[in-house]
Amino acid sequence: MKKNKVIYSIEHKKYLKNIKTKKAWIFFTQIGLLIGFLLLWEALIFFKILDPLFFSSPLRILRTIKEMFVEQKLYEGYIIYVHIGITLFECVLGFLISTVIGSFIAIGLWWSDYLRKVLDPYLVILNSLPKVALGPVIILIMGLGLKAIITMAVLICIIITISSTLHGMTSCDPDKILLMKSMGATKFQVLSKLLLPYSIPNFISVLKINIGLSWIGAITGEYLTSRAGLGFIIDYGRQFFKSDLVMTSIVLLSIMAAIMYLGVSLIEQKVSKNR
């Protein structure tokens, strides 16, 4: 068997090489695109076609990163780690709360057909309502600060969590449920032995969506009311025309969001190994 694997026809070798070359090209183009974009940006600033007051520049962003992490400059009283930490905290907490509560509500709605039908129009409306519009209401009820921001993040995530989790559970082949019932399964057994394990892949895609959404929630929350956090720095930078600060914070945000996304992808790979 092993010998067979080693001896490929010339045609097959060509085919394999072709795949490799294509992959390499895609990678280099991706990197090239990024470098080209940064060079163009820097050049436009250098030749004074764009005004750095509004557009910042890659070098200025690098300088600001140095200022943040090496010189540890204070921004409105806090070093950058505090700002990052606060936004991360809001985001993670909003993510966890909405995922846990949302999943439980989804299970409840699966359990009771009646409840699901009663609540259906409300869910539809809540889903299409821009949650940011509720910002002032949230502040009135929760007060200014962390609580309001986290509530914002939860509100933005929870509806989509409920509807996608529920959809995942109801997409199970009805014959699988009949099979369990024919074996005498209780409703709880159908849930625990079939629907929950069945929904895990769907649940993970819900997690992926929620990561993005909870960042949106945390940043919008900070725009509305905050004294610290990356969203706060962006808003503060905007007010005082510090575009370097705005751009750098956005770069930091993208890096953090990417790391969290990768984390969930890793979990996904582990879970989907046996599927």
Partner 1 sequence: MKIILCLHNVSHKYHSKLGETSALQDINFCLNDGEFLSIVGPSGSGKTTILSLISGLLKASQGHILIDGNEVTTTNRDTGYMFQRDQLFEWRTIRQNITLGLEIQKKMTQENLKMIDGLIEKYGLKEFADHYPRALSGGMRQRVALIRTLATSPKLLLLDEPFSALDFQTRLNVCDDVYSIIKNEKKSAILVTHDISEAISMSDRIIMLSNRPATIAHEYVIDMADCATPLLRRECKKFGYWFDKIWKDLEKLS
Phi-psi region of 255 (alpha: psi -120 to 50; beta: other; left: phi over 0): alpha
Q: CB of residue 157 vs partner 1: minimum separation in angstroms?
A: 26
What phi, psi does 207 have (nearest 5°)? -60, -45
Q: Is 267 in the site for partner 1 (CB under 8 A)?
A: no
Coil, helix or strand at residue 35:
helix
270 contributes a contact to partner 1 by CB under 8 A: no
Who's near 203: CB < 8 A, 6+ residues apart? 103, 165, 168
Shortest Cβ 203–partner 1 spacing (Å): 13
Between 182 and 239, name the residue whose CB sits nearer to partner 1.
182
Reference 198, options 184, 177, 183; nearest CA is 177
198 touching partner 1, by CB under 8 A: yes
Residues 246 and 56 sit within 8 Å (Cβ to Cβ)? yes
**In which element (H, E) is residue 275 found?**
none
Q: Smallest distance from the beta carbon of 183 to partner 1, in angstroms?
A: 4
Segment contacting partner 1 by CB under 8 A, of 72-80, 115-123, 132-140, 174-182: 174-182
Question: How far apart, in whole angstroms, are the C-alpha atoms of residue 266 and residue 269?
Answer: 5
Q: Quick one: CA dihedral 219, 62, 208, 124, positive or negative?
A: positive
Nearest distance from C-beta of residue 111 to partner 1, angstroms: 18
For residue 108, the SS3 value is helix
**Nearest residue (CB) to partner 1, 11 versus 175:** 175
Comparing C-alpha atoms, which of 155, 153, 146 is closest to residue 86? 146
**Site membership for partner 1, residue 12 (CB under 8 A):** no
Site string for partner 1, 128-167 (x = CB under 8 A): ----------------------------------------
Q: Which stretch binds partner 1 (CB under 8 A): 48-56, 113-121, 155-163, 170-178?
A: 170-178
Q: Tell me if 184 contacts partner 1 by CB under 8 A.
A: yes
The distance of closest approach from Cβ of residue 182 to partner 1 in the complex, given in angstroms and rounded to an integer, is 4
Instruction: Determine the Cα–Cα distance for residues 93 and 218; give it in Å rounded to an integer.
Output: 10
Q: Does 197 bind partner 1 (CB under 8 A)?
A: yes
Binding site for partner 1 (CB under 8 A): 173, 175-176, 178-185, 189, 193-194, 197-198, 200, 274-275
